[in-house]
Amino acid sequence: LAAPNGLIAPHWGDLSVRSPQVCVAVLGSAPARRLVVAWPDATYYDGAPGAHLHFELIVAEGTGVIDLAYGVMTGARYLTTGLESPDGRGAVRPPGTLFRACIEATGNNCRPEGNSVYRFIPSL
């Protein structure tokens, strides 16, 4: 159960960001704030020609709902996508019925589909 644990991976891999770079904001007011982390135009670190990746991670205060939101995902590759428990003993990826690329993948590697949102709702 190697670190990192307790991971949220919207599209985990070696990325390089163009301008603007990664944006972070807290929206709303307590107890219903949302943490938003946005990658407005990323590519792969190896300089993959034509890759334009626009995605966001949104975490809702109070409910714990986590959204992975994808805009343009031109040239997207199969990378780790999903959540891992704080102790590293469990992980979940977007459901295959909603995330077709997860059906084709193995493990937690998926290719995000553009113009999609995948919601994780914590169980009580």
- The whole-number mean pLDDT for each consecutive block of 10 residues of the chain, a chain of 124 residues, reads 83 89 96 97 87 96 94 90 86 65 64 87 77
pLDDT at 118: 87
Residue 94's CB is within 10 A of a number of other CB atoms, namely 23
pLDDT at 18: 87
pLDDT at 89: 83
pLDDT at 101: 54
Point out which residues pair with 12 in neighbouring strands. 80
Predicted structure pTM score: 0.87
Q: What is the CA radius of gyration of the chain?
A: 14
The token pair that represents 80 in the structure block: 């780790």
Single-letter code of the amino acid located at 5: N
pLDDT at 71: 94
